[in-house]
Amino acid sequence: MLNYILRRLLILIPILIFISLFIFVIIKLTPGDPALVLLGERATEQALNQTRIKYGLDQPLHIQYFKMMENFFKGDLKSINYKQNVISVIINRLPATLELGAAALVIAIIVSIPAGIISAIKRNSVFDYISMSIALLGISIPVFYTGIILMYIFAVKLNWLPASGYGGHIWTTEGFKYFILPAISLSFVLMASTTRLTRSSILEVIQEDYIRTARAKGVKEKSVILIHAFKNALVPIVTNIGNQVAGIFAGAVLTETVFAWPGVGRLAVNAIFRRDEPLVFGCVIFLSAVYVIVNLIVDLVYTLINPQITYD
Amino acid sequence: MISKYLIVLLGFNLLTLIFSLSKATNNQDNLISYLIFALLTLALGFLINKVRKTNQTDSNIQTTSNLTWKKLKRNKNAVFGLIIIIILVYISILAPFIMPHDPLEMNWGKTIQKPSLEHWFGTDEFGRDIFSRAIYGVRIALGIGLLAVVLNTLLGTFLGLIAGYYGGRVDNLIMRAIEMWNSIPFILMAIALIAALGTGLLNLILVVSITGIMQFARVIRSSVLGLKKADYVLAAKVMGIPDRQIIIRHILPNCIAPIIVLATLRIGEMILTIAGLSFLGLGIQPPMPALGSMLSSGQQYISENLMMSIVPGTMILLIVFAFNLLGDGLRDALDSKLSN
Amino acid sequence: MESKAILEVRDLEVYFPIKKGLLKKKVGEVKAVDGLSFTLKRGETLGLVGESGCGKTTTGKAIVKLIEATGGEIYYDGREILNMSPREFKAIRPKLQMIFQDPFSSLNPRMTVGDIIAEPIKFHRPQENIQELVEHYLELTGLKKEQLSRYPHEFSGGQRQRIGIARALALNPEVIIADEPVSALDVSIQAKIINLMKRLQEELGIAYLFIAHDLSIVKHISDYIAVMYLGNIVELSPAKELYQNPAHPYTKALISSIPIPDPRKKKDEIILKGEIPSPLDAPSGCKFATRCPYATTKCNNQRPKMEVISNNHQVACHHWKKINS
Amino acid sequence: MRKKLTLVLVTLLALFLLVGCSTQQEAAVQKEGQTSQNNTETLKIGIAKEPANLNPVLISGLYGESLAGNIFDTLVSFKENSAKASPALAESWEINKAGTEYTFYLRKGVNFHNGDKLTADDVKFTLEAIMNPENASPSKEFFEPVKMIEVIDDYTVKITLKNPYSPFMMALGNPTAGIIPKKVVEKIGMDEFDRNPIGTGPFKFAEWIPDDHIKLVKNKDYFLAEPNLDEVIYRPIPKAEVMAAEIQAGGIDIASDLLPQDIKKLSQDDSLVVKTVSGLSLKYVGFSAQIKPFSDVRFRKAVYYAVPIDDVVQGIFGDTGDRAYSWIPPSVFPDDNEYMKAHALKQNEDKAKELFAQLKAEGILKDGFEFSIYSPQDPYRKKVATAIATELKSYGLNAKVEALEWGTLLPLLKKGKAGIYIMGWGSVPDPDRWTYKIFHTGSAMNFSKYSNKVVDQALEQGRRLVGSDKRGTEYKKAMRKALVKDYIHIPLAFTNVTTVMNKNVEGFEPSPQGYFHLVTDKRNVTIK
């Protein structure tokens, strides 16, 4: 087990090196001049050159890459735009995104797992039909569209919730209000697939022998579903949630833009637009690392719910 | 069984062909539509012929594809999705013939109008007809979606086949690359790539088509891993059939099922990704009518004319929804585990 | 009449490494086939018998190079094939064919019978009339040419096995490795397939390496029989001799377990105690020692060598003389 | 099983610790914000884009300048009257007759936010920092004519110019010339100062959470008056429709950069007040003077004829902009709009067709020639580009729109690679600032790469002349040549500055440059 975790973390190193090279190439392929974006349209050629020299943009590419890598790992890669350490810029923004993602995840789980279970039990019923349709509609609407509509209804028309922005951590009362709309609109992405997966894996498990045995033994229907079926259906559901982490990040990029949310997704997009090369570099590497680690955790959670899986 | 539906479609095609013949040569766009439509009609005729033949010979024996079709037909959702897709495909091919207005024609005196007899869904901020733009938008969305999916499928399947079949170092290399690819949030990747390559239509197709490869390759690889241990693959090896041929003749045809399912589900995702990029201003560039850009500019007029956002929004929803329905149905039909 | 050896296997070894730990270090190996030797003569059949897991299928696959052998030599028609370059081996490939155990998975479900049989011909004999040849082999194996355009799932197990045989024959092989070709079939059909194989052997002069997990099936088709236990041959003998005078205690046990159709005959079945040990930790001495009723300390410490009992009859047992006296 | 559980828990814990570290940092900031929340007057301003810097020396862009205007003070002020300088940090000043020597007498008793006294040293330091090429200041160019800065005594500073330079006072009054504390900057460095600015202005910098908000708190000791507001929060809201939703929902008190349709809608809301001033900014269509066929004046005229500019401007800018005919806004000297309007081209399909046909016949405009109309990602300019591209398509021209983000667009423009582009300009009310950088050969903002001797000479002359009538003639000459002879640009609209604010915001007026002036000698914004 420990070996497994270590190996997974070791694999992270070549992956990150590859990613860093890859993103570096993309950054350098991107037309545009970080110095120009920083100084603005009125900048003179002399000022531009000065800035380029300051950020080492005048050096050969391979030296720029190694410099970037070196500084990144030393922890003093500085964002051109924020003039701060890239890592601290990202870490400062991370809670907003992680909390948003977690809130969306929780909403999705709270809604979709019961919905999926009921759909599975009452297969082909009206409830099943409706919840499946809603689930499918959920992933068929662009996430930014749901965001605007929610904002329009709940903030502008009803004036119940703040329209946009970040009001502090989710566990503060003030902050919580700000979380509701973006988290709901982001949770749509997850809800659909989780509901459908819960339904189909419960259905699959129900048909297996040990469930039949349990039923035949006279175990109550409720406990059949909850204890036996659900426990065994959990593995694919957890896998799916793990896979959705990428989806959350992607959705977050759009949701954060709609709700003027100070998260990592928007930071990364703005960094790309502003040609803040070190920050783009840092964001991508950081997000990738988070993704890999979250997936590692998901894999470990498997072992808890399914003792048959071991990683030795 | 299938031929009954096909004959109805063929009849429809023939009638429309005759009807639209006069309009066919107006411009390049119409001509392309007309040619595709004529090809479609030919293909339908050919299909009817083939279906009839097979139905005559073995009526009692069920081939796999026949069985799949039957299961699919029993799935009401999938049939519903399929019908929507067929209608959308027809709409997009016939777009130049059925649009009431030129989707690009501006009218400064009639901006942001509510629905009327002349403009069924009203007009947008340039006085352009929303209905015509939506129809044309569906055409572009489907065109791009299909093209990107084909590219995506080819690349993903190729990588998956190679990784799964050769295993070892090749597999390791490809899977690591996929893992790496996978760990970069794809929308960021798309944004970075579009920023690097520029916002052309071709670039857009390229970028969205490479963003979904990993999922594809992974699934194909795992089914290849199973298939390559099948005795008929071993038999082919013993017979000295070259690897390339084994992959093409024995492995590929047997993982068509997951490929079809994945590809169907991908189309929806791609259209959503393109819409998302349009929202950030990186999608299809104006003046070409694109659903995503229509939607995101419609949002600016949400209180003036709801139609500006509802129409493209609904169209996106319809396309994605239909493909998801069909994809789900196909998965159920092709997956033996849930078949009964 | 001494016919020439078409296939000779010498000290064949197939080891699978076991990898473990952080860096996937090799910590041991599974000795699936551990020094195996036999000779197959032109037009004859060698039955290779053993319990499942003893390495007989691995042996078969190693001979057709589906699995890479870690040691030993294999001679086809006097030429060593294990160290041959892929290009050289290409010419020999068609001569060494295989029939698989499961007739359901050995045929590509998406190809018609005609295509399945035509495929090897297209690659190896492209200049010939493919259609004609396909029909020829189909009829040779007792199928009708009307069935050419059908798919495998429309056939029964026996018919499918015939298709598999036809496909192998299409390359004009000299040797066919038959990997338990009938064990997945009904008893009534088993005989038919075996008879077909016998007939084909007579007509075409093919040599079979007939792999089976019990002695009853190979009895009628084999000229020689080799009994395998945990990666080694423990006894090798002409078929009749083996049934009449089994020398190895394992062979004796196998023979005694054959159901006897005649109830009047007395039956003294030897029942083996214990299970076949895992090849991961095979006993260091005689591999059969853990289950052998005659085992001594010598058996536990020293591996027995093949000893010649009589003409063509060999056995690997320290105590064969004592047991059979 | 138990072993596994602990391992999983340990991994989870490690991850949370990682996040936790950062959370703590935030929590500290949060606390500080919360304590001052009760009974405080907080003004929330929505801005479309987050400023890139807050250090006057490095600032570029409207919002950076706007914020800096409230943190820093300049020697002279144009805050209330955008054409005439009024005293700020300098109580009075003298200019010699040749217009080359400026002497400023500083106000006494002005303190920086950290308590340090403002002296002539700080002024000298600031201006020299702008001129120092190492700092790569975007506003360096405005101080190019400076020859020497002398500190006469603690409160007197003398600036000598190489030659007369009429817009020099404007340069000193711009927020980009806000005076920074020498001691502090020398200690922490330019870059660090950018994130921790210290000025003399009415508000102190408090915190900056990127992409979320920038918070300023009041400077009780501000030399003009104690600000009524306790806190000002600037919130970047990138989408105009979200900005409109926010002002309605009450998330912000002042909204800027709204779309015309939203302004119309919001003006019907009783709880909101809409205020408009005619602004000092222009949107225009530019053509390349280097790339064929755009370099041919007939092509530019043909486009002018082909597009119904009046309709486009009315349709897209609505009430937020007026049709422009010249580059220099009517409120800025010299007003030549009558002449320019009379010579502007009106839509004329026949003439457009004729010109296009001519160009085609001569092979200058090739068949199937495909070109892009470049525009930034702002809704107005993107729409203009779309409208022009659509119109040109109906003439059989293969035009498409490329709405790019700044990062891609700017280098393109700088290199003169954009054939047609839609851009904007906004500046102080001085004709030089409106023309020189755009039309003079080789200037930084000359995206058209336009070069004309007559225009160059007129612009150079305009800089040197101080007498106002003569100066006006030069600028008129330059503009007439460039715009209604060469048609190098099509001016589209002078856009107004419209702000929508909550009814209980009192004393706030939008400034023509789009700045948010909260405390000046004439106003002190408050919330009822």
Q: pLDDT (tens digit, 9 = 90+) per residue, C44-92?
A: 899 998 888 788 888 989 988 888 888 888 998 888 888 888 888 888 8
Contact A136/B328, CB-based, under 8 Å?
A: yes
Q: Which residues of chain D have pLDDT under 70?
A: 1-39, 466-468
The first and second tokens of residue D280, run together, are 């000092």
Chain C contacts in chain B segment 39-58 (CB below 8 A): 58
Q: Identify the residue whose tokens are 């109805």.
A: B8
Residues 6+ apart with CB under 8 A from D378: none
Nearest to B238 among C97, C102, C124 (CB): C97
Distance CA A192, CA B320 (A): 13
Residue whose pair of structure tokens reads 């001129």 in the numeric block: D131
CB contact under 8 A, D8 and A301: yes
C-alpha distance across the termini of chain D, in Å = 64
Give how many domains chain C has, as a whole number: 1
Query: Which residues, in sequence order, are CB contacts of D38 under 8 Å at separation 6+?
Result: none
Query: Which pLDDT value is given to residue A133?
Result: 81
SS3 at position C2: coil
Contact C101 B63 (CB under 8 A): no
Strands (E), D442-521: 489-502, 505-506
pLDDT in tens, B110-121: 888 888 888 888
C207, two tokens = 């040599």
**C-alpha–C-alpha distance, residues B240 and A295, integer Å:** 42
D334 upstream amide cis, omega within 30 of 0: yes
Rounded Cα distance between D156 and D104, Å, is 6
Smallest CA–CA distance, residue B219 to chain C, in Å, is 20
Residue C37 lies in a domain: yes
Mutate to test the interface with D, among B28, B104, B124, B125 (most CBs of D within 10 A): B125
Residues with Cβ within 8 Å of A20's Cβ and at least 6 positions away in sequence, in order, are: A65, A68, A69, A72, A281, A285
How far is Cα A91 from Cα C85, in angstroms, rounded to an integer? 57
Q: Could you state, in order of their start, the residue ranges of all structural domains in chain A? A: 32-74, 88-305
- Closest-CA residue in chain B for A296? B183
Rounded to whole angstroms, the Cα distance separating B277 from B198 reads: 13
Architecture of domain D203-277+497-527 in CATH? 3-Layer(aba) Sandwich (3.40)
Position with higher pLDDT, D172 vs B55: D172
CB-count burial class (<10 Å; 0-12, 13-18, 19+) for C160: buried
Percent of chain B with pLDDT over 70: 92
Please state, rounded to an integer, the average pLDDT across all residues of chain B.
Answer: 83
Single pTM value for the model: 0.82
Are the beta carbons of A6 and C21 separated by less than 8 Å? no
Model pLDDT, residue D20:
44
C274 in contact with A, Cβ within 8 Å: no
Q: What is the predicted pLDDT for the residue at B62?
A: 52
Residue B135: predicted pLDDT? 92
> Average pLDDT, whole number, for chain D?
86
Predicted confidence at residue A306, as pLDDT, reads: 63
Q: Nearest-CA neighbor of D42 among D269, D247, D254, D267?
A: D254
Establish whether this prediction's ipTM goes over 0.95: no
Question: B268 and A137: CB-CB below 8 Å?
Answer: no
As assigned by CATH, the class of the D62-195 domain is alpha beta
CA distance A167 to chain D (A): 9
Question: Exposure of A137 by Cβ count < 10 A (0-12 exposed, 13-18 middle, 19+ buried)?
Answer: middle
Q: What span, in angstroms and rounded, lies between the C-alpha atoms of C238 and D372?
A: 87
Contact D146, D161 (CB under 8 A): yes
A136 at the C interface (CB within 8 A)? no
**Computed over its alpha carbons, how large is the radius of gyration of chain A?**
24
CA distance B203 to C14: 52
Is B104's CB within 8 Å of D385's CB?
no
Residues counted in chain B: 340
Helix locations, A122-229, DSSP H: 126-140, 143-150, 173-206, 209-216, 221-223
Q: Where are the domains of chain D?
A: 62-195, 203-277+497-527, 281-495
d(CA D248, CA D263): 11
* Structure tokens, C181: 């070709």
Closest CA to D495 of D391, D346, D335, D379: D379
Residues A33-79 have pLDDT tens digits of 788 877 777 677 777 888 888 888 888 888 888 888 888 888 888 88
Distance CA(D308)–CA(B106), nearest Å, equals 11
pLDDT (0 to 100) of residue D239: 84
Mean pLDDT of C174-184: 87
Q: Contact, B311 vs B131, CB < 8 A?
A: yes
Four-way CATH pick for D281-495: 3.40.50.410, 3.30.465.10, 3.10.105.10, 1.20.120.530: 3.10.105.10
With CA atoms as reference, report the closest residue to A243 among B178, B183, B260, B175. Answer: B183
Name chain C contacts of B64, Cβ cutoff 8 Å: 109-110, 151, 153
Q: Which phi and psi angles does B219 have, rounded to 5°?
A: -65, -45
Cα torsion through D11, D13, D16, D22, rounded to 10: -110
Q: How many Å apart are CA A237 and CA A232, to the nearest integer? A: 10
* Residues in chain C within 8 Å Cβ distance of B61: 150, 154
Give all strands of the β-sheet with C79-80 in edge-to-edge order: C25-41, C5-20, C71-76, C79-80
Residues of A in contact with B316 (CB under 8 A): 140-142
Among the residue ranges A20-34, A223-237, B54-68, C146-160, the one predicted with the least confidence is B54-68
Specify whether the CB–CB gap between C82 and C9 falls below 8 A: no
- Residues in B lying within 8 Å of D, measured between beta carbons: 104-106, 108, 111-112, 125-127, 195, 198-199, 281, 285-288, 297, 299-304
Note the residue count of chain D.
Answer: 528
Whether residue C94 and residue B230 make contact (CB cut-off 8 A), yes or no, is: no
First to last CA, chain B: 22
Highest mean pLDDT among A138-142, C263-267, D343-347: D343-347
Max Cα-Cα span within chain B: 76
A236-245, B58-67, B150-159, B249-258: range with lowest mean pLDDT:
B58-67
- Across the range A211-226, mean pLDDT stands at 65
Q: Which of A297, A121, A130 is nearest to A226 (CA)?
A: A121
Long-range contacts of A74-81 (CB under 8 A, 24+ apart): A77/A278, A77/A281, A77/A282, A78/A278, A79/A271, A79/A276, A79/A278, A79/A279, A79/A282, A80/A34, A80/A38, A80/A55, A80/A274, A80/A275, A80/A276, A80/A277, A80/A278, A80/A279, A81/A38, A81/A271, A81/A274, A81/A276, A81/A279, A81/D52
Contact, D380 vs D285, CB < 8 A? Answer: no
Tell me if the domain spanning A88-305 has CATH number 1.10.3720.10: yes
Can you read off the two tokens belonging to residue C279? Answer: 């090849």
Per the listing, tokens 């009803």 go with A158
Task: Single out the residue of D480, D231, D441 nearest to residue D343, CA to CA.
Answer: D480
- What are chain A's partners, defined as 3 or more CB pairs within 8 angstroms? B, C, D
Chain B residues touching D314 at Cβ < 8 A: 108
* Per-residue confidence (pLDDT) for residue B1, from 0 to 100: 58
DSSP string, D342-400: HHSPPP-HHHHHHHHHHHHHTTSS-TT-EEEEEEES-HHHHHHHHHHHHHHHTTT-EEE
CB atoms within 10 A of CB B9: 16
Q: What is the CATH number of the domain that holds C73?
A: 3.40.50.300
Residue A224: the pLDDT is 64
Cα separation, B249 vs A133, in Å, equals 39
- Domain assignment present for C263: no
Bridge partner list, D46: D235, D255
pLDDT of residue A235: 75
Instruction: Show which subunits contact B, needing at least 3 CB pairs below 8 angstroms.
Output: A, C, D
* Pairwise CB contact (< 8 Å): B195 & A273: yes
DSSP state of D290: S
Contacts of B241 in chain C (CB under 8 A): 119-120, 123
Q: Say if CB A35 and CB A48 are below 8 A apart.
A: yes
Output the CA angle B158-B162-B163, nearest 5 degrees. Answer: 115
Q: Which DSSP category does A206 fall into?
A: H
Q: What is the pLDDT of residue A308?
A: 57
